[in-house]
Each structure stands twice: as C-alpha cells, then as structure tokens.
Chains A and B, each alone.
Chain A
C-alpha cells in the first residue's frame, strides 16, 4: 500500500498555475461533453481533495455536480480534512482509494481522479486497474503522477524503479536508453495504459476511450492521463462532440501529450498579449522580448490561465 504523501505541506494548491490550467481545461472538456449528451451534472465526482478541495469547488460551481467524495489516506489530518470540506455535499472518507473503488455505485456514472503526487508506484497501477474494472460505462478516469526521475541520477536506476513498480506491465525489451530523462513521461503513459487494459480485460464491449494526456510543471513535472470507459455509443458521441476540436484533446495515448506551459509574464505583459489573442503563428510582441515559443505556449492556455493577486481578506 502506498504511504500518504504530503505535498499539501509544500505548496498551496491554489498557487499552482499549470495545475490550475489543467483543471480549467478538464472543466472545459466536461462542459463540452455535457453539451454532447453526457449528463455530467448527475455524475459522481471522486477525488483526493487533501485539505484544499480546489477541484471539488470547481466541479460543484462550474459543473453543478453535487455527489462528491474525497478520499484521503492520511489519518493524521482526519479532522483537518473534515474541517475544510467546502460544501455540505462533499463526503469524505479516510481509506486507501483502492479499497473505495469497488464500492463506487454501479448505478451512477463517475469522474474518478486518481491524483497522486508522487512518482508511479505499483499500488497506483493496482488502483488504476481496479478503476478500469469497476467504473460503469460512461465514467471518466483521470490519473495524475509525478514524472520526474524516480531516484538517483542514472537512467539504469530509473529503469530499475519502473521494472519493480511496473511489475507485469513492464516491457522487458526496454533498454537503458529508453529511460532517458525526456522519455520518462512516455514510460509512465505506457504503464498506465497497460494497467487500464488489464483492468478492462473480460469486460464486454467496453474500451478505454482516451481524452486527455497532459504534461505540466509547477515545480515537478506532472502527467495526467484520462479518458472514458465507454462502448461504441460513447465513442460516437465523443467523436462528434466539440471536445474533439479542442487543442488539448488527445484521442490516442500514443500521441504526444498536451504540454501545459505557463510563461512567466508580468501583469502588464499579459494584458498586452491578451489584446492580440488568438494571435497568428509566429507573431511576437515588438514592445518587449518574448520568444515565439513562449507566445505559442501562452496562446494555448490563455483562456484557462488564472491571475493571481494579493487579497487582504
């Protein structure tokens, strides 16, 4: 079993711009799915809300979901979790998420976000596989992991980590060179995809329909893989939905992830860029130095990007 991690002590959840962009993109996607015939309002949202519940607040306010369950396994902050519940309709449970997954109602559709803040562990893959087994058709599964090098500074050590933690999902033909720093996100994606496939094996006429594959970095580089457990009906609906037109939609996990990069900009710079958005390819501002790459990155995320300011409450 995985030990509870404590990233809530390291950084205030609300101050992670890239993570926030990801959340806004997910909310956007769920809204688009609502317009396509998925009644997202009636879904149950199950996440790992820690003590901040940022995702719960968004999901309730922007999607109207009122069946919400936050699962945490850190018994030392039991009271804090309960104390910080943002709404009466958020239920909390102190248990390993893997014990909770089989208990999720079979009569509801779910959005389940396995939002781990550590590097990929075998217990995570076990949870993922379990989710693929139990989530009813139409449910959405999201998996987030840290994709920084797991330990040491040698790809051979990294390979060892993934071999141990990946267990039967690990591809033994992979060599040390396949564990170059830049390839680690790919290794994570592949293992998660295999765990999903294994959890689905034996389910009739159901497949995993990928929707998301995000890579972002506020400190550590993080990966979120997500999609729907669906049949041909759901597949048809998604293909015809406006979600399929967005720049963050990923239909195939073999495709490169959608990289969320939030350029560091002053307020004044940002206002200036916004005036030009969406800008043409290759456009850069003449008033200050900003590379085309950064402009491009900004163009991808500006509608989802939070603004921070000090509030004296």
Chain B
C-alpha cells in the first residue's frame, strides 16, 4: 500500500537520487559544501568524462543504468535494502529516508533485476518477484531481499548500478502509453538536477540527452543581485535574488519566482505562492508585473534529515522552523526587487523605457559567482544616459479651425499633422527668436 502516496515521476527521481548518491559516496563528494563552487569534477574533465545515467523504458520494462560508482555490498545489506536508514549516514546525500529506492521499485513493477559493482565488490538481485517475495512470511529471513554476491568492477569507470524492472504495473503502463510522460519527465529531471547535469553527470532518457535547466538569474553593470548567507541549526542557508534574464526582450512568467534547493536538488521551482513568501508577511501577492523576479534559496547540510524538504523531496515542510526563519528573510531580500519592478510598471503596461533598458542589459550569472562576494542587497545603479531630446505632441483641434489655417496657408494638400507642425514652428520662429 505504501507505494500509492508517491507519483511515478517522484519514483523515477528517487532512482536518479540513488545514482547520484552513488557518486557522492564513492567519490567522497561533500555535496553540501561543493555544489555551489564553480566546478569541481567537470572543470578539469571534458564532457565525455561526466558520469552517465541512462534511463529507458517501454511498455514492458523500465531500466536505469549508471556508472556513478555503485553500491557497496555492506551498504546494500545494512542500508539500501533495509527499511529505514542505518544510523550515522551523512555526507550531504539526496536519499533521505532510505525508503526511496525500494519504494520506487515496488511502485514501478513486480519483477526486478539489479546489478551493482563498486571497485571493491558487487552484488546482484536476480529476477526477484516482489509480489511473491512480499507474500512469503514464514520466518524472519523472508524479509531480506536475496542478494547474490559478485566481484568488483575492473575500473572506476565501470563501477555502477543497473536496475531493470519488468512486469510493470498496469497504471505505470497506462502512463507510459499516454504519450506525454516522456516530455514531462524530461522537464522535471532537467529542473530537479539543474546543478548536477553538465557538471557531474549526463542524463539520457530513452537515448536522448537531457539538457540541464538554467535558473535565469541575472546581473549587469547596473544591476547587483542580492545575496544573504546564514546558518541555522546546522543548516547553511544562502539566498540569491535578482532580475531574471530576458528572452526576446521579455520576462517569462513561467520561470519567474523562487527556486528552493536542498543539497543541490531543486525541490520547488519558479514558485509564486505563499509557500515561498508571496502574498503574506512582507511580500505582496505575485502579479504579472513581478515576472522579472528570480530568487534562489539554497539549503545545505551534511545531515539530509535536517533539511526542510518533504519525504517526496518535491515539496517543502512549512512546519520546519529553519524554513520559516529563512522564508521571512527571503521576503526581506526580495523587497527591493519588488520596489524596482513596481517603479518600472508604474502604470501597468508598458514598462518605462529606463527600466526596459536596464532589464534588457541583464546577463546570466552563476550562483557561485555571486556567492564569492559578501552578503549584499539588491541594487540598481542606473548609468547616466543621454536624455531623449524629442517629445511627441498630440492634441485635438476643431476641424473648422484646421480648415481655416489650411485655407490661409493655401496648403490644400496638407494633413492636420503637418498643419500642427507648421503652426508650432511658426510660433517658435516669430515669438521665440534666438
């Protein structure tokens, strides 16, 4: 029954988390400290050296294969295939509750094969029928998943995990058939692992590579993003907020709002609701004129349990004291940006020209670039521009009067516009000689 409370997408993300956790464990990568750095692995390596996660599925199978380092036999016995986490698991991983991998497998289908190799050792699960296994309840040993021990991988490059699930559940097959699942997965994966894709891993879905989403945070010579950093109960929190970069001289409402990340995983994307402080406390409701706003809230901890995410890892635990405190400060750093956007759209549409010039000049900036500087508030320092020398004049005049002037000038072909210009120039010349 416990497979019902989670969506198919969440399950697949859980399987990807498992792969990324392999990378964290075997490369001894402390995600909580390196994820914001410019680059650690990929900086020195070429794209070809990124670790690979390949996902494929059809109506008969689902498979995820990675070379992210594999799961140690010891971990498989004590942690991965145990219900709940073994105590003392730290290092800034993504698998929080220890049930992710098993839950995902059970949700997808009835039979699974699994093979995992580290460079030290390996294990396999051969065609385990989950349903039959779950029904067996003769003695305590029946609760253990039967593992076959194998040798380790011949090189680090080949160490990894493959999970293949067959006899998919009918509701999973239905989703696969509906034709929109792939596109949805592509976009969810692209957003969720925005900070991993292209830096640590390359992910493919049914043979096609997934491009990592770029959070459209911007800056320019005139626009300085806000940055705040603080620690609360062992959780390091960094907040970034600025104007969004534009596409075709326009801000996109879909990508505006707050992005909340826990240990590098995007938990909430482009949020414009009270969840991230809009329309409550010190921020107004989201409005289309605020679509130039982008904020990123980054929570990191070696202990994933202390992060404010929910068990599905795609929501925030609003009861978390750490999150409540952070949310109030998210509102604080957002305020000056809201003031700026308010001033750009004084009379709704269109935006004022000075604001547009500033907005169009905003270029992408990485979180790591901003975090190199001390905490600062959002500021716009407009460059002095040449003030436009011309202004257009428009007014209404009685047709009869225009006709009188036209006749007087004997300029029968002139339109009202030209007559207006002529009278203006005439006044300027005769009454205001230089």
Contacts and interface: CB of A to CB of B under 8 A. Distances in A.
A133 B321 contact: no
Contacts of B332: 101-102, 130, 133-134
Contacts of A102: 228, 329, 332-333, 335-336, 377
B282 A199 contact: yes
B219 interface: no
Nearest to B230: A106
Given A168-B281, A198-B328, A202-B327, 4 more contacts: A98-B335, A126-B281, A168-B280, A202-B323
B82 interface: no
Interface in A191-235: 195, 198-199, 201-204
Interface residues of B, number: 26
A305 to B, nearest CB: 37
B232 A204 contact: yes
A167 B283 CA distance: 11
9 contacts: A98-B282, A126-B282, A126-B331, A129-B281, A129-B282, A130-B332, A130-B335, A133-B332, A202-B325
Contacts of B322: 202
Given A99-B335, A102-B333, A198 B377 contact: no
Interface string B265-290: 00000000000000111111000000
B189 interface: no
Interface of A: 1, 95-96, 98-99, 101-103, 122, 126-127, 129-130, 133-134, 167-168, 195, 198-199, 201-204
Contact of B336 (A99, A129, A167, A198): A99
Contacts of B377: 99, 102-103
Contacts of A195: 281
B75 interface: no
B280 A198 contact: yes
A199 B328 contact: yes
Interface in B291-341: 321-329, 331-333, 335-336, 339
A1 B323 CA distance: 26
Interface of B: 228, 232-233, 279-284, 321-329, 331-333, 335-336, 339, 342, 377
B324 A127 contact: no
B282 A202 contact: no
Contacts of B232: 204
Nearest to B233: A204
Nearest to A206: B325
B237 to A, nearest CB: 11
A246 to B, nearest CB: 32
A200 to B, nearest CB: 8
Given A101-B332, A102-B333, A1 B281 contact: no
B329 A133 contact: yes
A130 B339 contact: no
A101 B329 CA distance: 11
A215 to B, nearest CB: 26
B422 to A, nearest CB: 38
Q: What 7 A-B pairs have minimum CB-CB distances, sorted nearest first?
A: A202-B324, A202-B325, A102-B332, A133-B328, A126-B282, A130-B282, A99-B336
